[in-house]
């Protein structure tokens, strides 16, 4: 029986390793479609337009908002980030699970529009490890690192609003765990209405 795509929202502290995790997940399991966000942030070294993000000017981003082309958008440490609607809708309609790697305000807006979405929160094993990872990434200034750690403390307040917590200690373990959680979501009885109807009908006909 054909199954419908799930919307998976993945949030986590900046520096939790979400980017690496998402890349590994879609590489290992080709059934997942990773949404590419729009942002007004400048590309980091090695990032390309259309791959990690669609890098837009503030004006271009405003246009997308006005045209209602974003599922959600949020401001995060002085830049705007948003999820383009078209890709997500196309992929879900085609039965693929779509992964959004977005911050908390956006996650909550998605949950309002898609109550069946699966919300996962990724965290490093400890605060000290988070700080170490942010510093060793070497892409941000000390001020930006400070701002992101402050933001992490605020974001921690909302961890309980997510469905599952995923502790990113070992990459491979974490990838397997996320895959298992998404697959489990497919099996929820609330998503299996068609199957339940069918087997009931078959049983009555025996
Ligand atoms: P970064 O600048 O490190 O790539 O991303 C900063 C934060 O923005 C991360 O927490 C990331 O998950 C979030 N983010 C990326 N894309 C989106 C989006 O489309 N919407 C929202 N709300 N947050 C996003």
CA 147, 150, 152, 154: dihedral to nearest 10 degrees?
A: -130
Instruction: Output the CA 101–ligand 1 centroid distance in Å.
Output: 7
Instruction: Output the CA 14–ligand 1 centroid distance in Å.
Output: 9
Assess contact for 97 and 32: CB atoms under 8 A: yes
Which atom from ligand 1 is nearest to the alpha carbon of 105?
22
What are 124-134's pLDDT values in tens digits?
999 999 999 98
Task: Give the angle subtended at the CA of 158 by the CAs of 156 and 161, to the nearest 5°.
Answer: 140
What are 67-116's pLDDT values in tens digits?
999 999 999 888 999 999 999 999 999 999 999 999 999 999 999 999 99
Query: Considering just the CA atoms, what is the radius of gyration of the chain in Å?
Result: 18
Sign of CA dihedral 175, 180, 181, 185: positive
Pairwise CA distance, residues 104 & 10, whole Å: 9
SS3 126: coil
What are 137-179's pLDDT values in tens digits?
888 889 989 998 999 999 999 999 999 999 999 999 999 999 9
Pairwise CA distance, residues 125 & 123, whole Å: 6
Which atom from ligand 1 is nearest to the alpha carbon of 14?
10
pLDDT given at position 139: 81
102, 111, 162: residue to mutate for ligand 1 pocket, most atoms within 8 A of CB = 102
Going by pLDDT thresholds of 50, 70 and 90, the confidence category of residue 1 is very low
| pTM (predicted TM-score) | 0.90
Average pLDDT taken over every residue of the chain: 93
Which atom from ligand 1 is nearest to the alpha carbon of 83?
19
Instruction: Output the CA 29–ligand 1 centroid distance in Å.
Output: 23
pLDDT at 48 over 80: yes
pLDDT at 36 over 50: yes
């Amino acid at each position: 029986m054909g199954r419908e795509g799930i919307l998976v929202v993945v949030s986590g502290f900046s520096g939790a390793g979400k980017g690496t995790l998402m890349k590994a997940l879609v590489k290992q399991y080709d059934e997942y479609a990773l949404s590419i966000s729009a942002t007004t942030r400048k590309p980091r070294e090695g990032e390309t337009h259309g791959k990690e993000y669609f890098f837009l000017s503030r004006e271009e981003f405003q246009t997308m908002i006005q045209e209602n082309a974003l599922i959600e958008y949020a401001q995060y440490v002085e830049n705007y980030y948003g999820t383009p609607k078209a890709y997500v809708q196309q992929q879900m309609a085609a039965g693929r699970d779509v992964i959004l790697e977005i911050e908390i305000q956006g996650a909550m807006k998605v949950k309002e529009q898609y109550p069946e979405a699966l919300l996962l929160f990724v965290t490093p094993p400890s605060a000290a490890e988070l700080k170490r990872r942010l510093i060793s990434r070497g892409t941000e200034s000390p001020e930006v690192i400070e701002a992101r750690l402050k933001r992490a403390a605020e974001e921690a307040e909302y961890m309980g609003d997510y469905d599952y917590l995923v502790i990113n200690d070992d990459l491979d373990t974490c990838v397997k765990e996320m895959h298992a959680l998404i697959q489990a979501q497919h099996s929820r009885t609330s998503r299996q209405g068609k199957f339940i109807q069918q087997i009931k009908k078959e049983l009555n006909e025996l």
